[in-house]
Amino acid sequence: MLLTDNTIVNQLFGIDTGLGMSLLTFDWAHIAFITSPLVIPWWAIANIFACFVVINWIVAPALYYSGVWSTYYLPISASAVFDRHGQMYNLSRIFNQQEARIDAAAYTDYSPLFLTATYVCAVGVAFALLPAVLTHTAIYHGRDIWAKLRGRQTEREDIHIKLMKPYPEVPDWVYAAFAAAALGLAMLAVGLWPTKTPVWAVMIAFMLGGVVLLPAGFVYAMSATPLQMNVPSELLAGYLMKGNPLANMVRPSKLRSHNSQLTSSSFHWQLFKIFAVTTTQVGLTFVQDLKLGHYMKVQVVAVFVTCLAQVGVKRWLVANVEDFCQRGQSALLVCPTTRTFYSASIIWGAIGPSRLFGPGKQYGPLLFCGLAGAVAPLIPWMLEKRWPRSWLAYVSLPVAMNGALSIANANGINYSSCFIVGFFFQYFLRRRHFSTWSKYVYIISAGLDSGTTFSALIIFFSLSLPKNGQLVLDWWGNNVFKNTADWAAVSHRTPPPQGFGPDTW
């Protein structure tokens, strides 16, 4: 293996703490990590990859190697957060366990929080995303929404609607009862469990998810990419419950972060964020299942019932896998999204957005990304009006930014592999051999998804579970990647002994 100690090469091409410019992997789990390139349309793949290249392979390196916000003292890409000495941020040094709040004096004595270059870019894109979605929905779909609100029929009944009419619908009162029960249980859990979360915060979280559901539905329906609402919910929760990480996160009993400095007062899953984000994401996922059932002529009642099974599977995994979500988990159940949740809980819940993004703070300029996001969709919209038959009709900034937002959890090789596979199937094969594409592409996608999942289940139940997750194949091919500067998370510059960053915070 060449250039294992070359810092710049590892930062650009590494896939652990690097930018992942290695371009291609044949592991379907990595190819479809963001989304399946055999399902979403080519124009959406192109939008996502173009935005990713600009943000992650141009803007992020420019920020990093120029030292903006002291990023070159950190790894170029990581979902963790750091202190002014380049070490993972030790929340226990500033967290008052008795009061479950941040000790302001300890925070001043210890360190402000620092983000890697890719994490900064992800936050900026996240600030821009929701305003961009709202503007895009208003200018492209506002007329249809208004017509629907006035009770007008905007589309004709197609053959699928006619064939599904004989099947009974799930009554509206059933959906209302489930929603009321879920909201009631959430409020009861928050009120009785020592989460330090006010009950009214649960109501706001559900309302936020409900408001975003319709604009997110437009993005999802067109591009098959679900809207990521993490940062808006975190930002709102951070200001509503400043300095209270318990109100923003809840800790499953067997989860541990990859940060060895965590104490029992550290948590992984942000409570407010889960209620807000899950309301949107699970709602859209259920609509997706209903749409699939609609085309497959599956009764709505059957779809409704089967959607409950995955909850039990997830609970079983959390309860029975001892090292679940640890970085070195033998079955690769490492939960990159959960690690990002922990980092976000420090940023938004414990320290609070005002200490990082407030006026005069080092990351304050990122808030202007929200204004840029609100204005940006107007540009392709006006250009498309001027040239209606051009490729500008396929430009969708919400889809592009929403897909690129996964850079906090994913890596460059996930995006580039998705793009290459998508180009072959959704552009080349579809244009040159449409009959073959239409006959096999969705079957191939389903086969790869189910095959990957089924093989993981076989490996887990036949090898990992009988050995309590201790089965290790110790050979060069499984360990060589650990002998690199990429795995060691080497920074471009060594942090000075006195630390880096602003003098006051």
| Tens digits of pLDDT across the chain (505 residues) | 568 888 999 999 988 889 989 888 898 988 998 888 998 899 999 999 999 999 999 999 999 999 999 999 999 998 888 999 999 888 888 877 776 677 888 888 999 989 999 999 999 999 999 899 999 999 988 888 887 777 666 567 778 888 888 888 888 898 889 889 989 998 888 888 877 778 888 888 888 888 888 888 888 887 777 887 778 887 887 777 765 555 554 443 333 333 433 333 333 346 777 788 888 888 888 888 888 888 888 888 888 887 777 777 777 877 887 777 776 676 667 776 666 666 676 777 677 788 888 888 889 899 999 999 999 999 999 999 899 888 888 999 999 998 888 887 788 999 999 999 999 999 999 999 999 999 999 899 989 988 988 888 888 888 877 777 677 777 888 788 888 988 888 999 999 999 998 888 7
162 in a structural domain: no
HSE-CB of 193 using CA atoms within 13 angstroms:
14
Residue that has been written with the tokens 């915060």 in this structure:
201
- Could you give phi then psi for residue 95, rounded to 5 degrees? -100, 125
> Alpha-carbon dihedral of residues 238, 244, 245, 248, nearest 10 degrees?
-50
Any long-range contacts for 444-453 (C-beta under 8 Å, 24+ apart)?
444/38, 445/36, 445/38, 445/39, 448/28, 448/32, 448/36, 448/38, 449/28, 449/32, 449/36, 451/28, 452/28, 452/29, 452/32
Q: Which residues contact 80 (CB under 8 A, 6 or more apart)?
A: 88, 89, 116, 258, 259, 339, 343
494 in a structural domain: yes
Distance of alpha carbon 505 from alpha carbon 113, whole angstroms: 9
How, if at all, do strands 101-102 and 248-250 pair?
A: unpaired
pTM: 0.79
Residue that has been written with the tokens 């594409």 in this structure:
437
Q: Which residues contact 457 (CB under 8 A, 6 or more apart)?
A: none
Query: 448, 32 in Cβ contact below 8 A?
Result: yes
499 in a structural domain: yes
481 in a structural domain: yes
121 in a structural domain: no
Q: Give the range of the structural domain holding residue 25, as residue numbers without chain letter.
A: 1-38+412-504
Give the number of domains in the chain: 1
348 in a structural domain: no
352 in a structural domain: no
331 in a structural domain: no
DSSP 13-72: H-SSSS--TT-----HHHHTSS--TTTS-HHHHHHHHHHHIIIIIIIHHHHHHTTGGGGG
